[in-house]
Structure 1
Amino acid sequence: MTPRILTLADAPDLAHAILPLLAGSWPAYMLDGIPGHGLDIAALLLAAPQYQVLLVEGDDLLAAGLSVPLRWDITRDELPKGWDDAVVRSAKLIAAGDAADTVCALSITMAPAAAGRGLSATMIAELKSNAARAGAQALVVPVRPMLKHSYPLIPMADYIGWRDASGRMFDPWLRVHLDAGAQLAGVAEASMTITGNVAAWSEWTGLALPGSGDYVIPGALAPLHVDVHTDTGIYVEPNVWMINPIGN
């Protein structure tokens, strides 16, 4: 059966399948922690259903490419500060009823059944095509590199400089974006912030967190900072900006 591309506007009944797909792929703290943007991300995505790209096979959701509309002046200095800032800027744009000229992809999540089928590149291409249909000048992406969680103590700026034996960028997910025509635009050092109390972080990570300090936790691209005196854990994640021009 050939997978089909739909948007959430085309198939609003698929909204219920998105959260289970995300929950099966992302660390619990990414979904359950207190986000730095302070907004209801589900409500934001539902307010812009035409920007949510879904890959469907039969009745099953194989992949979801979630994105939001933005305004951007095409200069690197005026890119959002990161993932959280893109969400905040999009929410303000939608609330004001202003027209967008750019799309920011927030995530591409694949079901296990999609693995090994080359569909991640398909999703990038479909997000770009969908942005073009919306009249966008660019698709911008704060990318979460696939292998960075194995090197959480390495600064992102150093990590993106790594190359494999053939001279290509070390991280395979960054390579997929570059192969799709994206331009590397730099590091968003504080792209996403997630907070929670120490007990919640212990539950999310499966680790005892008995004292203050920095902890390497599963799935994270950088250490978690814990302060037991304030009962707070703060995770600040760096991402990598990729820009996909449209119509050039």
Structure 2
Amino acid sequence: MAIEIEQFMCRSDNFGVLVHETKSGETAVIDAPEEAPILAAIERTGWRPTALLITHHHGDHVEANLGLKQRFGLKITGPKAEAAKIPGIDEQVVEGNVIKLGGEEIAIIATPGHTAGHITYHFRGADMAFTGDTLFALGCGRLFECKPPVMYQSLKKLAALPLETKIYCGHEYTQSNARFALTIDPTNSALKERAKSIDKLRAEDKPTLPTTIMQELATNPFLRWHDPVIRKNLHMETASDEAMFAEIRKRKDLF
């Protein structure tokens, strides 16, 4: 395998991730929630980071930017639309750009909704995507800077990725997301089994990530706006997909 992953916790519920391309020895940090756990992961693996890939400008994703840059001289890449809010940014990217980590191509996907300039990093050869706070396991991010139609379009893009794509997101919210999902889709047997598995993982203090696009399409209500059972449960049988998403997001905000 040309790519190795080290995933770990930062702050109270943020995920930190190191992505190591074994042929070149290059390593990327995905977002920078907190310096100490990232440094511990670097020490543990022996992987010296060469790049920091930022999904969006929120403080719990960029807090350690300048500290890491000072220590390692790494290159900070982030969304052009949020460049003014990303400390130490060197490279500004937009949808359609392709960057590299060693021999691995990383496609930039614009996924606004949680923030107006949010991006996702799609490692095409390794079949994995870092979705920040756009798509969560069994959830999606709150809409701080955009209206529901914007996030709906972003989620549609991610839902169209290959089914085997592994999804790494910014927070360990899966257990609470599962509880909400069951209020929307209580008869979904795949969701019920997944919720049990998640409870077991969290009881053992194990992460619930990565997930996959296939798993999310089967169980994540924020990608299942078309499902007739969910539509019936919400009394929205004839609503548009966009209206369905907006209603599910509103219910989650109040959950």
Q: Same fold (TM over 0.5)?
A: no
Structure scoring higher RCO (CA < 8 A, sep ≥ 6) equals 1
**Higher strand fraction: Structure 1 or Structure 2?**
1
